[in-house]
Structure 1
Amino acid sequence: MSCWSGDDVIGWFEAAAEAAAARQTETLRRILERNRAAEYLRKWLGDADVQHLEASALESLFTSSVPLASHADLEPYIRRIADGETTPLLTQEPITTLSLSSGTTEGRPKYVPFTRHSSETTLQIFKLAAAYRSRVYPIREKGRVLEFIYSSKRYKTKGGITVGTATTHVYASEEFKMKQQQTKSYTCSPQEVISSGDYKQSTYCHLLLGIHHSDRVEYVTSTFAYSIVQAFRSFQEVWREICNDIREGTLSSRVTIPDVRRAVLEVLRPNPGLASRVEAKCQDLERRDWVGLIPELWPNAKYVYSIMTGSMQPYLSKLSHYAKNLALISAEYGSTESWIGVNLEPCTPPDKVTFAVIPTFSYFEFIPLHRQSHGGPDDFVEDDPVPLSQVKIGQEYEIVLTTFTGLYRYRLGDVVEVAGFYRNTPKLSFICRRKLILTVNIDKNTEKDLQSVVARGSQILRSTGAELVDFTSHADVGKQPGHYIIYWEIEGEVEEGLLGECCREMDAAFVDQGYVVSRKSNSIGPLELCIVEKGTFKKIMENFIANGAALSQFKTPRCTSNPVLLRILNVCTIKRFHSTAYAS
């Protein structure tokens, strides 16, 4: 597929989507044949002959013999791999690389097997998504892409297994290097900048080289929307330095890594005219609070492309601020464990985006979920899992994965709704992570519930011109009654009375009946709003990176019990407010 044209890759996907059910059976058969000697599979399937079974018999044997699994069920096998055991445990071929999931902010890293198949499917979905985007937003041959992408340092387990983030593995892969050479548009930054290991120096160089290539930039992208917002917040602080480097053809002393300096200076040449134009635009943008920063500085950019669903939704307001009239295109749906679906309709706003499942990447099952009308948002009744071919429009499901990398009937924890079909493969809307993040006793609130509450409370800020920069939460059960704490970092001045109103509004906005009843009976105490000083969430991000993660994979934890993060939050708290929403 590496040399396919855009039409070729679309033709491949449409054929797979048309025959989605058959492709799923083929995928399951290939996974089982490839890994049938693995200890985990032999435990459940024994010596079953999966090669010659008919499709329905194969799927029936697999789903009746192999149980649904969580990461905790597979972790003992993954730990044995990390410790250097070479016998086939999850896969027949040895696993030499493990990925760190993006949830590592909460403490002990979660390892996920990573193989060449992981890199190959990543490049496949990049190529497929680019082909659909180019139908709507054609890009110039040999244009540039301003990519805020970052590798982190990799390390070895005691058993000699390489560990790093999935994005780091991809950027280090031969497939990615080939993509950089073959693609129609390629990144502004050389490999040395991507893999510097210092996100501050990399960000500065990404911005500098983005300005250097400003007229050739076709679009702006990063893995997560957060990274783009973070980069342009940084630009507001360093643009004068960047203009000086453009003018003189030099590189700021803030960039100290020799390989990075050498690679960037090979590209730069003195350009006083460009420096003066950018300087004038930045002076004007500064007066306008940086509205439209992206189209002003990259006049030929056609869109901004990134993961914008789930925990990235709170950053869309600021991203729209920077992008102004540029299209915001939500990137593909996947996880550290597997890619799942592609965005076929790039014109769709991020809050309405759907993802067509790619039926050859993994074997997918879907657990039907039914919400109980009397219960909280996560009070689901489950039915037995169904295959991809049996899902129904309008039904919510939890996704179950069986992958080439050794995960079998793995509960992903994502709740999706089937919004329709593309040919015969379902189109999914991401709803939320199923995991509860806020609970004291009978109350049950998910990340989506918290986002809705914070959105309602932060509406009050808009009348003042202030802005919510970021937020997280904590269920404090150390004192009785337990209560929720929500931490806000805000930009701008807000009167204390107004912040107290924000606190009360959020407390009243929780609709979970367990929470409402508990607040009324005082078995959950008043909600607490803590305002933290400027830069607090940057410290949280830096703590995450210091523990080996990459900026491109960072997600602010929407709820935390991590003692290190709580220490940062509490030390940086400058004001506290308690709700009076349920005061008698």
Structure 2
Amino acid sequence: MEGEGREGGRGLMKIDELCEEDVIDWFEQVSSEAGVAQSRTLRKILQQNYGVEYLKQWLGDVNIHEIPDDFTLQSLFTSLVPLSSHADFEPFLQRIADGDPSPCLTQQPINTLSLSSGTTEGRQKYVPFTSHSAQTTLLIFRLAAAYRSRVYPTREGGKILEFIYSSKQRKTKGGITTGTATTHYYASEEFKIKQVKTKSFTCSPQEVISGCDYKQSTYCHLLLGLLYSEEVEFVTSTFAYTIVQALNQLEESWEEICYDITHSTLSSRIAIPKIRKAVLKLMSPKPGLGRKIRRVCEELKEEDWLGLIPKLWPNCKYVYSIMTGSMQPYLKKLRHYGGGLPLVSGDYGSTESWIGVNVDPCLPAENVTFAVIPTFSYFEFIPLFKQQQHYYSSTSSDTAIHDFLEGQPIPLSQVKVGQQYELVLTTFTGLYRYRLGDVVEVAGFHNNTPKLNFICRRKLVLNVNIDKNTEKDVQLVVERGSQILSDQSGAELVEFTSHAEVSDQPGHYVIYWEVKGDVNDSVLEDCCSAMDAAFIDYGYVVSRKANSIGPLELRIVERGSFNKILEHYIGNGAALSQFKTPRCTTNPYLLNILNLSTLKSFFSTAYA
């Protein structure tokens, strides 16, 4: 299926006409013939974009239409068109932004450009967005909902408490609309179809979603979610962080929300006229509901808000959000709020393309896998192998360290269980053999399409000497430190990130913590040393013992420091539902915020 319909011998059916069993039947079929579906997908991409400038510089006068064999076409494409990065497309995307109408990347006109969040590399990037982007978003949402409904059936006509947000759409000097991919989707016809055609409906009107002030929108999401508290079937947002952020705000705003529900008013903090008008239109005095919510919140406050979600939304079946990668640290808090409700991980995608769907929603979020949808893009996989190198030091004997070697990219049909790969995309929207930078591991297969575990972003690596620690490594280390923090002081780790400080020699790792609660310095010293000792990367251990990497430093920052980082990204055009705190960073602006907010600093004694 490419958005307009589906293939498979049954003719075409529009997405908005698909029932749950139809969409599952479609995916079961294309996943059973994943290799063939991938060959067809590549052919369609190349046929649709035949003659565009980017491809012509590599394919020359090769006529795609005259190559009848799909295997030959795949071989020709991968042998002539090189692997690429975003830098290879930036000149073309800038021309599009400046108003160049020539078919440089696609034969379809690109009237919209998405902006990446910028949390990985510190700057936002243009990514093509077309009707295909919105259609695949709608389809994966329908497909994921169908699999969830098999495990957690919901009531017809129920409501969804969705913490979703748009940012401002802007125009480039060439008249091209820019904004986040989620913003484009929420403004699309496909989102309107979702609102009308699905069994459940979001609590908040479009004016709240597109309000462009996340604090005002969050208050209204909470207010309307509680107004319809008996009807809410599940709670969701793009990322787990956003749900935690919203429920933190509820802890502070519940009394004001209760007043608004009781008296059919709206807090003066809601200053955007279109939001006020839309929300007040849905309100009517509900003193009984206001008293009930107030009573529940008073009890919750005494219990540190344990089980907040099922106690305020008693018919809620589950919490649904992306919970992998940099979102895993929020699972503990989400489970606290969820009080035993299932946490169902959302699906796997990027600004460039959707990739895989969660077909096993009953699995714990830590064990989730994503079945690749072989019609969305053409996927290649670069095998990553650990190699042993030798490190010589004046203070140690010949020692082996681990690093990664890359193999040649292979098609989806050749991947192996247990192997790690870097993903490569060729998309309908004009990206060809694009290295996404995500490292995944094949966990198994759904029919004949691979099920992927997301491992990490390849670029997010701490490195001083011969060491290489990914964001996943950092998360595991921080979990060790935060457990000591909790056990010895009862305090809570709110947020964290890390940085490899190399301005002084020897270089060392810095981990920034924002902590809720009072903690003795001795506890923080223990946390710091425990984290330093918890890194298992051989290059790091050897370098620490040889003093070619200095002691790990733990910096404690003021409460609210990470919110300043959020405000920075949102001020630059990101939406709250797109934001991810980077777990490893070199961004000077972000580091400046944290360094200016540092209250105290500790150094490890693990290798003293």
Paired residues of 2:120 and 2:460 also in contact (CA < 8 A): no
Matched, 1:415 2:439: yes
Moved more, 26-35 or 572-581: 572-581
Match status 1:340 vs 2:332:
no
| Paired residues of 2:309 and 2:337 also in contact (CA < 8 A) | yes
After superposition, give the CA deviation of every residue in 1:232-260 in whole Å (9 maximum; x if it has no partner).
Answer: 00000000000000000100000010000
Is 2:30 the counterpart of 1:5?
no
Distance 1:148 1:180 in 2: 15
| Counterpart secondary structure, 1:394 | coil
- Partner residue, 2:449: 425
- Kindly indicate whether the alpha-carbon contact (under 8 Å) linking 1:436 and 1:444 is maintained by their aligned counterparts in 2: no
- Residue 377 of structure 1 contacts residue 446 of structure 1 at CA under 8 Å; is this kept in 2? no
Which structure 2 residue ranges, 5 or more long, are not aligned?
A: 1-14, 391-399
Local SS of the residue matching 1:214 = coil
User: How many residues are aligned here?
Assistant: 583
In structure 2, the partner of 1:324 is 339
Which of 497, 515, 534 aligns to 1:472? It is: 497
* Deviation of 1:105 (Å): 6.5
2-structure distance, mates of 1:105, 1:438: 13
Q: SS of 1:92's equivalent?
A: coil
Q: After superposition, what is the alpha-carbon deviation per residue over 1:367-414, rounded to whole angstroms, capped at 9, x for unaligned?
A: 111112558998211211111111111211111110000111111111
Query: Counterpart in 2 of 1:33?
Result: 47
Residue in structure 1 matching 2:407, options 365, 383, 387: 383
Task: Return the offset for 1:213.
Answer: 0.4
Among 201, 206, 210, the alignment partner of 1:186 is 201
Q: Distance in 1 between matches of 2:250 and 2:147?
A: 31
Q: What is the aligned counterpart of 1:404 among 428, 444, 459?
A: 428
* Partner SS, residue 61 of structure 1: helix
Comparing 396-405 with 51-60, which one deviates more in the overlay?
Answer: 51-60
- Cα distance, 1:436 vs structure 2: 4.0
Q: 1:213 aligns with which of 224, 228, 249?
A: 228
Per the alignment, residue 540 of structure 1 pairs with 565
Is the Cα–Cα contact under 8 Å of residues 377 and 445 in structure 1 kept in the other structure?
no
- The answer (yes or no) to whether the contact 2:460–2:584 under 8 Å persists in 1 is no
User: Partner of 2:515: helix, strand, or coil?
Assistant: strand
* Structure 1 residue runs of 4 or more that deviate by more than 6 Å after TM superposition: 375-378
- CA separation of 1:411 and 1:106: change in aligned 2, threshold 3 A: closer
The alignment partner of 2:277 has SS state of helix
Matches within 5 A, 1:150-549: 150-373=165-388, 379-463=403-487, 464-549=489-574
Please state how far the C-alpha of 1:442 moved relative to its aligned partner: 1.9
Check whether the contact 1:82–1:157 (CA below 8 A) recurs between aligned residues. Answer: yes
Aligned residue for 2:230, secondary structure, equals helix
1:557 maps to 582
Distance of 2:343 and 2:246 partners within structure 1? 16
CA offsets 1:72-92 (integer angstroms, 9 cap, x no match): 222222222222221111111
Q: Which amino acid aligns with 2:350?
A: S
Check the 8 A contact 2:418/2:442 in 1, yes or no: yes
Distance 1:159 1:68 in 2: 29
Distance across 2 between alignment mates of 1:319 and 1:377:
37
Q: Quick one: distance in 2 between partners of 1:477 and 1:160? A: 43
Change (3 A) 1:108 1:102: closer
Contact 2:119/2:582, CA 8 A, preserved across alignment: no
Any idea what the Cα deviations from partners look like across 1:499-521, whole Å, max 9, x if unmatched? 00101111111122222222222
Taking the aligned partners of 1:343 and 1:567, their CA distance within structure 2 comes to: 38
Taking the aligned partners of 1:557 and 1:344, their CA distance within structure 2 comes to: 28
**Counterpart-to-counterpart distance in 2, 1:189 and 1:377:** 53
8 Å CA contact 1:533, 1:573 repeated in 2 = yes
SS in 1 for 2:606: coil
CA distance in 2, matches of 1:192, 1:518: 55
- Equivalent residue of 1:418, what SS? strand
**Corresponding position: 1:134 with 2:149:** yes
Q: Does structure 2 conserve the Cα–Cα contact (< 8 Å) formed by 1:148 and 1:206?
A: yes
Maintained 8 Å contact 1:293/1:322? yes
Partner of 2:393: none
1:99 is aligned, of 114, 134, 139, to 114
State the Cα RMSD in Å.
Answer: 1.4
In the TM superposition, what whole-angstrom CA distance separates every residue of 1:335-354 from its partner, at most 9, and x where no partner exists?
A: 11100111011100011111
Query: Cα gap change, 1:436/1:256 in structure 2, threshold over 3 Å: closer, same or farther?
Result: closer
Aligned-pair CA distance for 1:448: 0.7
Select 1:16's aligned residue among 26, 30, 47. Answer: 30
Cα drift, residue 47 of structure 1: 2.4
Stretch of structure 1 that moved more, 151-160 or 318-327: 151-160
For residues 493 and 606 of structure 2, the distance between their equivalents in structure 1, rounded to whole angstroms, comes to 22
In structure 2, how many angstroms separate the alpha carbons of the residues matched to 1:503 and 1:431? 25
Q: Matches of 2:33 and 2:548 in 1, distance apart? A: 54
- Provide the secondary structure at the position in 1 that maps to 2:124: coil
* Structure 1 stretch displaced more, 456-465 or 300-309: 456-465
Show the 5 A alignment for 1:66-81.
Answer: 66-81=81-96
Q: CA deviation at 1:564?
A: 2.0
CA shift at 1:55, angstroms?
A: 1.3
Deviation, structure 1 residue 39: 0.4
Deviations 1:431-489 (A, max 9, x none): 11122421122221111111111111111012121111000112112222221111000
Q: Residues of 1 paired with 2:344 and 2:125: CA distance? A: 29
**2-structure distance, mates of 1:250, 1:532:** 38
Name the SS of the counterpart of 2:440 in structure 1.
strand
| Counterpart contact for 2:555–2:598, Cα < 8 Å | yes
Amino acid at match of 2:405: V
Q: Contact 1:215/1:299 (CA < 8 Å) preserved in 2?
A: yes
Letter in 1 for 2:282: V
Judge conservation of contact 1:245–1:251 (CA < 8 Å) in 2: yes
Percent identity at matched positions? 68
Q: Distance in 2 between matches of 1:30 and 1:379?
A: 38
Inter-CA distance 231–272: structure 2 relative to 1 (3 Å threshold): same
Query: Equivalent residue for 1:111?
Result: 126
SS of the counterpart of 2:379?
A: strand
Judging changes above 3 Å, is the alpha-carbon distance between structure 1 residues 557 and 63 closer, same or farther for their aligned structure 2 residues? same
Partner of 1:149 in structure 2? 164
Distance 2:381 2:123 in 1: 28
CA contact (8 A) 2:182 2:578 kept: yes
Counterpart CA distance in 1 for 2:436 and 2:588 is 26
Unaligned runs of 5+ in 1: none
Which one-letter code corresponds to 2:429 in the other structure? T
TM value normalised by structure 2 = 0.94
The alpha-carbon deviation at position 563 of structure 1 amounts to: 2.3
Cα distance between partner residues in 2 of 1:454 and 1:14 = 40
CA distance in 1, matches of 2:239, 2:302: 28
Alpha-carbon distance between aligned partners in 2 of 1:377 and 1:389, rounded to the nearest angstrom: 32
Report the residue type matching 2:595 in the other structure.
Answer: N
- Aligned partners of 1:42, 1:465: CA distance in 2, in Å? 62
Structure 1 position 3, deviation (Å): 1.5
Q: Tell me the TM-score normalised to structure 1 length.
A: 0.98
Say whether residues 1:580 and 2:605 are aligned partners: yes
Preserved contact between residue 114 and residue 181 of structure 2 (Cα < 8 Å) = yes
